[in-house]
Amino acid sequence: MRTFVLRARAAPTDSQVLLASVGGDAHTEILAHTLMNAFFVAQAHRPDVVVYLVLESTRDFSRTLRFEVNAMHDIGGFDERTLLGKVARGLDASRGMGKDEERPVEAGVTVRTTSFERLVQTLAVDHQLFLMDRKGTPIGEQSFADAPCFLLTDHIPMPKKTIPGLERLGAKKITLGPTMLFASQCVVLIHHALDQR
Ligand SMILES: C[S@@+](CC[C@H](N)C(=O)[O-])C[C@H]1O[C@@H](n2cnc3c(N)ncnc32)[C@H](O)[C@@H]1O
């Protein structure tokens, strides 16, 4: 299983604001691009992929949406409108939730009112954590176990104060080269690197 966590620091947790923010400063299209590149290949989808989107621009709690491709009956199209529609449905399903509650949204999709830090603590129990960072170990030199989990952000960097905590949980920094890429482009290159093994 390959797991990707996108910490979307600018992404609104209000579904209407999220949809209206495509192409704006929040760049919510990044969420759709990340889902697209995690799940889809030409004329098919990849099995054994989980994506967590953590939306952090909120008045109450971060929303963590979990998409497990093997359990999704109808992924639908790979266009931005379809994929952001799924995100919006998850946000709508989360209305009125208290802290650290979870609700099903549709087959293979859940929403949880949990923070990035808490999510990663949970994942650290049974995943090998990797923080995507241009100053890390080259991906070609890294060995991978069965359950790698890759931590990415949107256009806003990972807060510096978060990084020691991630490293204490075992996260290792890995790089895809010196060029600053979009998170969704990192996902393609990570899949490619793992496909070669
Ligand atoms: C657009 S970048 C974030 C840009 C942000 N301004 C920053 O300085 O981190 C989105 C994500 O991709 C990761 N990323 C971008 N290029 C990378 C590379 N060459 N190697 C590893 N990770 C990369 C970043 O670490 C980040 O998690």
Centre of ligand 1 from the C-alpha of residue 84, in Å: 22
pLDDT at 156: 96
Percent of the chain scoring above 70 in pLDDT: 100
Enumerate the domain spans of the chain. Answer: 2-195
Give yes or no for residue 182 CB within 6 A of ligand 1. yes
Torsion, CA 149, CA 168, CA 30, CA 17, rounded to 10: 120
Residue minimizing CA distance to atom 8 of ligand 1:
157
User: What number is the average pLDDT over the span 139-158?
Assistant: 96
What Cα–Cα distance (Å) separates residue 109 from each residue in 33, 64, 74, 99, 137?
Answer: 17, 10, 11, 18, 33
Give yes or no for residue 140 CB within 6 A of ligand 1. no
Centre of ligand 1 from the C-alpha of residue 101, in Å: 30
Residue minimizing CA distance to atom 11 of ligand 1:
183
pLDDT at 193: 97
**pLDDT tens sequence across 45-54:** 999 999 999 9
Task: Report the distance separating Cα 29 and Cα 167, nearest Å.
Answer: 29
Is there a contact between 32 and 16 (Cβ–Cβ < 8 Å)? no
User: Is this model's pTM higher than 0.85 or not?
Assistant: yes
pLDDT at 74: 79
Ranges 13-17, 75-79, 191-195: which has the least confidence: 75-79
CA 67 to chain centre: 9
Give the architecture-level CATH label for domain 2-195: 3-Layer(aba) Sandwich (3.40)
Mutate to test the pocket of ligand 1, among 155, 180, 189 (most ligand atoms within 8 A of CB): 180
Per-residue confidence band for 75, with pLDDT thresholds at 50, 70 and 90:
confident
Is there a contact between 166 and 130 (Cβ–Cβ < 8 Å)? no
Centre of ligand 1 from the C-alpha of residue 159, in Å: 12
**pLDDT tens sequence across 170-185:** 999 999 999 999 999 9
pLDDT at 73: 85
* Max CA separation in the chain (angstroms): 46
Centre of ligand 1 from the C-alpha of residue 189, in Å: 13
User: Encoding tokens for residue 106?
Assistant: 């549709």
